[in-house]
Structure 1
Amino acid sequence: MKHEKHAKMTRPQLGTFGRTELAILGTPCGNIKKLAYSLTAALHDSYRIAYVDADHKGEETPEHVPALAAGATLVFTDKISFQRFDSVLPLNDFQQKRFFNDYDLILVNGNHFGAKTQIVVVDPAKSLEKKLDRLTNIGLVILKDTDAIPDYLQNQILASVPVLQYEDTEKIIDWVRQYGQAQIPPLYGLVLTGGKSTRMGRDKSQLDYHGKPQREHVYELLTPFCEEIYLSVNAAQALELGGSSFQLVEDSFLGLGPLGGILSAFRQQPDAAWLVVACDLPLLTEKSLKTLVEGRNPSKTATAFYDGDHRFPEPLVSIWEPRAYPTMLQFLAMGYSCPRKVLINSEIELLESPDTREFMNVNDPVAKAALENQPK
């Protein structure tokens, strides 16, 4: 048996800087900036956009920032209308990805940096012949001051790749908009069943409120809204359900409660958004889930309802986007394991619930008896 030095893990599909990035290359940098700024102006209401470029003049040096000149390696300046970091230390690949985690679309000057997908500008003023190694996934070709694709590029461009003119700004914007829409993560469902049920004294996921075990009921509630659905289970439940038709996410972050279940799901499928529902909400209905899914904002860390007191977000009927994964790990590294704490301190979409009574947790015999004694 071949020895494995490191645990096998599913890595998120990230590029040089982040999840959804487009490198524009093949024309002088001034044209790239002009195009990038036009795209940003047209799309910033729909996407949170970052722009990556190099300083072409190189006029600023650390001596221009007094604190850096004095020996500091990082300076944060609150400029009131925006914030600025100046760092002597370069960002490595891993730090870059964390920095750009919260952006929906990253536009990159491809003359200087690579990216996962490329917009190639064919411009007689700047040949790409020596940069063919950067053309790994061409999504769009733009012709500037020419009507022909040079021979050296013919084999690099698939027949299905659209070709537009540089002056066709609206068509270019529309292509980028559609590209961004296509990158919205699929929605998977996660039924949290892996708790110890210490207060209830028995497995809450197997209680019957609707003529079947609660985990099956919640699974069926999620079915109209999710491409795939998983049960979040502990090790004992994984053994019990190993031969069933359910897809399982076994806890791999132990002792963390609901946060551990959500992190385990991201560890297994890091490129999906997760609609998370706890199994101990017997009053939850399809109406609330429909409201949540229709109100989903993929540009935010998560989409959640206000809780029953209308004070805080409700973490256990919520949608967590892939960008939440590194954010949760960062909170965990700082000693916080509460998913509500993550929501409170992140940029999220908060919705009004059709009926907050549906968030009533039934997690002990007294609450169960009170629910069963309610008038039908």
Structure 2
Amino acid sequence: MISKDNNIPPLNGLVLAGGKSRRMGTDKDLIKWNGREQRYYMADMLNKFCEEVYISYRPEQANDVDAAYKTLPDTFLNMGPFGGILSALRSQRDKAWLVVACDLPLLDDEAIRFLIMNRASQNIATTYESPFDGLPEPLITIWEPESYPVLLNYLGKDITCPRKVLMNSDPLILKSPNPNALMNVNTPEDAAKAKEILSAGKIISGNE
């Protein structure tokens, strides 16, 4: 775990694994990109850096998770990732949350460590700029406690897109040292590309 100043909120980890994976055609959290189910692989990765790590699910899914892992069922329902983030922030109001999606099979320790080491706790969030569209990437982001009322405010406006919150707020946006690590895999075509990158070892360097 990376130690932090006492004035900086402690950091929990959250793996978003409650999506319905319609475009992929199979549950993305169950794919074994790195030898075990992605939800557990990601949780184990975050556990190196966070005080507590939870797997976020829709309430009806929680019993499907290995009892060795903590779960955090959504309390804001039918909102996708937005609901998972809000549910985490509500559950422990004094904690910041490092949120990652389960559809990032190339995510590595380097990307997590770089995000934490450059964390700006005075902002509502610390995030990466997507190398694919230049916009903030909300699903590998540290959401500070102060982001909770901001997210609620957007919810009151019927906006449930965490990216829109970041685009219209004050996050610190970082350039990734390894752009491949931020690749989202949402379709079979994306999966084929990710497998190619993994087998070629290109995840190691963003210069590939």
TM-score, structure 1 as length reference: 0.50
The 1-side partners of 2:136 and 2:59 are apart by 29
Partner of 1:226: 50
Residue 42 of structure 2 corresponds to residue 258 of structure 1:
no
Q: Distance in 2 between matches of 1:183 and 1:339?
A: 26
Q: Does 1:352 align with 2:194?
A: no
- Trace 1:270-285 onto structure 2 (pairs within 5 A): 270-285=93-108
**Structure 2 letter corresponding to 1:339:** P
The aligned counterpart of 2:151 is: 328
Instruction: Evaluate the alpha carbon distance shift between residue 368 and residue 256 of structure 1 in structure 2; reply closer, same or farther with a 3 A threshold.
Output: same
Displacement after TM superposition at 1:348 (Å):
1.4
AA partner of residue 326 (structure 1): P
- Distance in 1, matches of 2:98 and 2:140, equals 7
Which structure's residues are more often helix, by fraction? 2
The residue aligned with 1:189 is 13
Does 2:202 match 1:371?
A: no
Distance 1:337 1:357, change over 3 A: same
Q: Which residue, 5, 23, 26 being the options, matches 1:199?
A: 23
Q: CA deviation at 1:373?
A: 3.9
Structural RMSD (CA) = 1.5
Deviations 1:237-271 (A, max 9, x none): 20212x61111110111111111110111121111
Q: 1:266-299 deviations in whole A, cap 9, x for unaligned?
A: 1211111000000000011100101000000110
Letter in 1 for 2:173: L
User: What residue ranges of structure 1 are gaps of 5+ in the alignment?
Assistant: 1-180
Match of 1:299 in 2: 122
Letter paired with 2:90: R
Secondary structure of 1:182's counterpart equals coil
Letter of the 1:244 counterpart: A
SS at match of 2:110: helix
CA distance in 2, matches of 1:257, 1:326: 18
Amino acid at match of 1:253: F
Cα distance, 1:310 vs. partner? 6.2
Distance 1:240 1:320, change over 3 A: same
In structure 2, list runs of 5 or more residues that go unmatched: 201-208
The aligned runs of 1:77-156 (5 Å cut-off) are none
How far apart, CA to CA, are the structure 2 residues paired with 1:260 and 1:186?
A: 21
CA gap 1:364/1:319 in 2 versus in 1, 3 angstroms: same
Residue of structure 2 equivalent to 1:317? 140
Q: CA deviation at 1:188?
A: 0.2
Report the Cα distance in structure 1 between the residues aligned to 2:12 and 2:100, rounded to whole angstroms.
11
Instruction: Identify the residue that residue 205 of structure 2 maps to in structure 1.
Output: none
**Identity across the alignment (%):** 45
Equivalent position of 2:206 in the other structure:
none
SS of equivalent to 1:366: helix
CA distance in 1, matches of 2:190, 2:121: 35
2:37 corresponds, among 194, 213, 236, to 213
Match of 1:276, SS?
strand
Q: What SS does structure 2 have at the residue aligned with 1:317?
A: strand
Q: Deviations over 1:212-243 (max 9, x none)?
A: 000111112112210110000112320212x6
How far, CA to CA, are the matches of 2:79 and 2:48 in structure 1? 29
Runs of 4+ in 1 over 3 A off after TM superposition: none
Question: Partner residue of 1:37?
Answer: none
Counterpart in the other structure of 2:64: 240
Greater C-alpha radius of gyration: 1
TM-score, length of structure 2 as denominator length: 0.89
Which one-letter code corresponds to 1:227 in the other structure?
A: E
Task: Provide the rounded CA distance (Å) in 2 between the counterparts of 1:247 and 1:209.
Answer: 21
How far is 1:363 from its partner? 1.6
**Conserved? CA contact 2:55–2:71, under 8 Å:** yes
Secondary structure in structure 1 of the residue aligned to 2:40: helix
Structure 1: distance between partners of 2:196 and 2:136 = 29
Q: Distance in 1 between matches of 2:59 and 2:188?
A: 24
- Could you tell me how far apart the structure 2 residues matched to 1:266 and 1:360 are? 25
